[in-house]
Amino acid sequence: MKIAVFVSGRGSNLSALLNYPDLINLIEIVAVVSDKIDCKAFEIAREFGINTFTMGEENGKISQNDITSILKKLEVDFVVLAGYLKLIPNELIEKFENKIVNIHPALLPSFGGKGMYGSYVHRAVFNSSAKVSGATVHMVDKTYDTGKIIAQKCVDISDVKNPEEIAERVLKIEHQLLPEVVKAFAENRVKIESERIIIIN
């Protein structure tokens, strides 16, 4: 399965995919796309010899239309949003129906939506006094964090002292959950049944 990974920053989830032993023979990451001209995730991509592209309408960036053509040319069959902060263009969503997934650092449908990213999510969870948090991988549709949930993992946060501790615990879980879900897609084990998404083991 040929994959494009969309990123905006650090790239630890990209790294988790690249280093997950069970994925080596199943997937190939052929493109890393960002809205940023440069970011830590691009450095990781380059270390692995993966092409990087900056998408945007500003000067020096590649337009959404051209990115869509590039992904087609690279024969991408699946897209992973791993810390990508912008909305995905409708054209891409239509071309990759049920083939774009996002990782969100909380248990959706709570703590999601526009503006709920990075530290804002963990601060909101902390302030809510919730005792569990976790990570969610979901299908991407035309609005933030509303696509169907594919998989979730929880973590106990009853004893945390600050949002940073939540972030640390959740990130560890993300690095397991995202590769597991991508593996399930690569092995054709993800099915949509009666409005729910099921992973067959």
Q: Which residue is nearest to ligand GRF (CB)?
A: 83
Q: Which stretch binds ligand GRF (CB under 6 A): 8-16, 47-55, 137-145, 185-193?
A: 8-16
H/E element, 155: strand 149-156
Dihedral sign, Cα of residue 165, residue 166, residue 169, residue 171: negative
Closer to ligand GRF by CB, 10 or 95: give it: 10
Q: Does 103 bind ligand GRF (CB under 6 A)?
A: yes
> 191 by DSSP, 3-state: which?
strand
Q: Does 12 bind ligand GRF (CB under 6 A)?
A: yes
Q: Does 9 bind ligand GRF (CB under 6 A)?
A: yes
Angle between helix 118-128 and helix 163-186 axes, rounded to 10 deg: 120
35-64 residues in contact with ligand GRF (CB under 6 A) are 41
Of these, 10, 86, 95, 169, which contacts ligand GRF (CB under 6 A)?
10
Q: At its nearest, how many Å lie between ligand GRF and the CB of residue 86? A: 12
d(CA 103, CA 85): 11
Closer to ligand GRF by CB, 66 or 168: give it: 168
Closer to ligand GRF by CB, 95 or 172: give it: 172
For residues 55 and 31, is the Cβ–Cβ distance under 8 A? no
Closer to ligand GRF by CB, 7 or 23: give it: 7
Q: At its nearest, how many Å lie between ligand GRF and the CB of residue 167? A: 7
Q: Does 134 bind ligand GRF (CB under 6 A)?
A: no
d(CA 67, CA 53): 8
Looking at the annotation, which residues are catalytic?
A: 104
For residues 197 and 149, is the Cβ–Cβ distance under 8 A? yes
> 124 by DSSP, 3-state: which?
helix
Beta strands in the chain (DSSP E): 2-7, 28-34, 51-54, 78-81, 100-104, 132-139, 149-156, 190-193, 196-199
Q: What residue ranges bind ligand GRF (CB under 6 A)?
A: 7, 9-13, 41, 82-83, 103-105, 117-118, 171, 174
